[in-house]
Amino acid sequence: LRIFFFSLQFGRTEVIDNTLNPDFVRKYILDYFFEEKQNLRFDMYDVDSKSPDLSKHDFLGQVFCTLGEVVGSPASRLEKPLGGIPGKKCGSIVLTAEELGNCRDFATMQFCANKLDKKDFFGKSDPFMVFYRSNEDGTFTICHKTEVVKNTLNPVWQSFTIPVRGLCNGDYDRTIKVEVYDWDRDGSHDFIGEFTTSYRELARGQSQFNIYEVVNPKKKMKKKKYANSGTVSVSYGAAEGDVSTRLSAIKRLTSDLTGNPSQSTSLHYMNPYQMNAYAMALKAVGEIIQDYDSDKMFPALGFGAKLPPDGRVFHEFPLNGNIENPYCNGIEGILEAYHQSLKTVQLYGPTNFAPVVNHVARYAAAVQDGSQYFVLLIITDGVISDMAQTKEAIVNAAKLPMSIIIVGVGQAEFDAMVELDGDDIRISSRGKLAERDIVQFVPFRDYMDRTGNHVLSMARLAKDVLAEIPDQFISYMKSRGIKPNPAPPPYTPAGHTHHTQI
């Protein structure tokens, strides 16, 4: 298996001989950015020789995805069918991701030993343990030492707490080596033996599986009847976690409908050769946040238009015209509904934000257990007719599991949007400050590439407007004392499934 990252080969797994269901061990560390679209390609090969030239081996299939798709999947586990060979079923690949560098878990553990080797001539032993985390290059780095327990072959060490990041860099399956020594005053401590484990094993706490033989490799080589130099057991093991930055559910997108789309001067003008600013903003932001929504179905609302048949003005209406079911299938579905709505509605002022903010807030208020988090994307030309009502709606929404992204299109002044953003002065209404900063505003014109490269413009826009979402998500969870769900059990591949880890 090889991984391509932005069209550059990132790495290759080890080769596993003679199997249709390989479980690859080698992991790859990638920098993950919530606000960016990070494309990945996985190619699978059957290795026939030691040649590094992939053309010498049989191609078995490939998969394209984004890193966000993997992280945003349930339990960060994504299964996709392998393709690339017309007319042939190539099996499937399972990709799993685990946060490493930002792991905030703490491990509390206690150990005891039984029948350790006697090392002192006039006494027993004064044992202590040294813990090492393994590095990517196969070396080990010391990360913890226990205290010395004097004159015993059956020590019980005090419990200790250590950041999981320090113990294994947040990789629960990374090897942890433990060495046991007999303490000597002159510093020439006598080696008793060693064993290896992983944090995933240690976190199980006291059990029959957490009893380790302490082995001295030199003794084992010299003595045929040598069994071990004692055993070490886990008396207690537990982890205390913090909220992760992965969003469990993100829903709701809204577009401001003002102007005449049939005129080339309109921001909604449908140019047959390129997307307008509204469509580009929708696509730029939506393509990234949709990776974190499980069903990819988004309610899309318009505001500020007269609707058929009687021409009444609405400030929140479904872009697809279906009041009972305003959901659109993915970002392409939203864009299609947006373009169709431009043909059927008459764009009309005033431009009121409060109705759509309150609309999403009603949904968010019904799910405050941390299982869902809502993101409202508003794309607007900057005109707002209900500033006081909108500020009150945002202050009320700040205590709910939701964030608001506002993208300003066109050349208007966006002073009102900057005020709603609240970066400099926290937004307030009727003397009440917003509990959290939940609004992020950016003007699209600041991201337009001078060379006309719309792909680059959209990437820059998405990166900035989404940058604050993880912190806003965490601030809500912490304010409500909501902790992440327990880590899922390790996946065991079955059937015709190829499995790797990122």
Share of the chain above pLDDT 70, in %: 84
Which of 207, 214, 224 is CA-nearest to residue 179? Answer: 214
SS3 state at 193: strand
Give the strands of the sheet with 497-501, arranged side by side. Answer: 77-81, 92-96, 497-501
Question: What residues does 12 pair with on adjacent strands?
Answer: 2
Angle (nearest 5°) at CA 230 between 227 and 236? 130
Backbone dihedral angles phi then psi of residue 445, each to the nearest 5 degrees: -60, -25
pLDDT of residue 162 exceeding 80, the answer is yes
Helix axes 277-289, 454-466, angle to 10 degrees: 60
At residue 114 the predicted structure's pLDDT band, cuts being 50, 70 and 90, is very high
What's the whole-number average pLDDT of the chain?
Answer: 82
Half-sphere exposure (CA, 13 Å, Cβ side) for 171? 19
Q: Residue range 408-433: average pLDDT?
A: 85
To the question of pTM greater than 0.75 for the whole model, the response is no
SS3 state at 308: coil
Summarize pLDDT for 328-386 with one digit per residue, the tens: 998 899 989 988 888 888 877 677 889 999 999 999 999 999 889 999 988 887 678 88
Helix axes 277-289, 330-344, angle to 10 degrees: 150
pLDDT of residue 251 exceeding 80, the answer is no
CA distance 60 to 57: 9
SS3 state at 177: strand
pLDDT of residue 403 exceeding 90, the answer is yes
Q: Where are the alpha helices (DSSP H) in 159-276?
A: 164-168, 199-202, 217-222
Note whether 167 and 202 are within 8 A (CB): no
Q: What is the pLDDT of residue 289?
A: 78
Q: Report the DSSP pairing between strands 77-81 and 92-96.
A: antiparallel
Summarize pLDDT for 286-314 with one digit per residue, the tens: 887 787 787 888 888 888 788 888 878 78
Rg (CA), the chain: 29
| Beta carbons within 10 angstroms of residue 323's beta carbon | 8
3: its two tokens: 């991984």
Q: What is the pLDDT of residue 496?
A: 40
Residue with the bigger pLDDT between 429 and 495: it is 429
Which of 120, 129, 119, 123 is CA-nearest to residue 232? Answer: 129
Backbone dihedral angles phi then psi of residue 468, each to the nearest 5 degrees: -90, -10
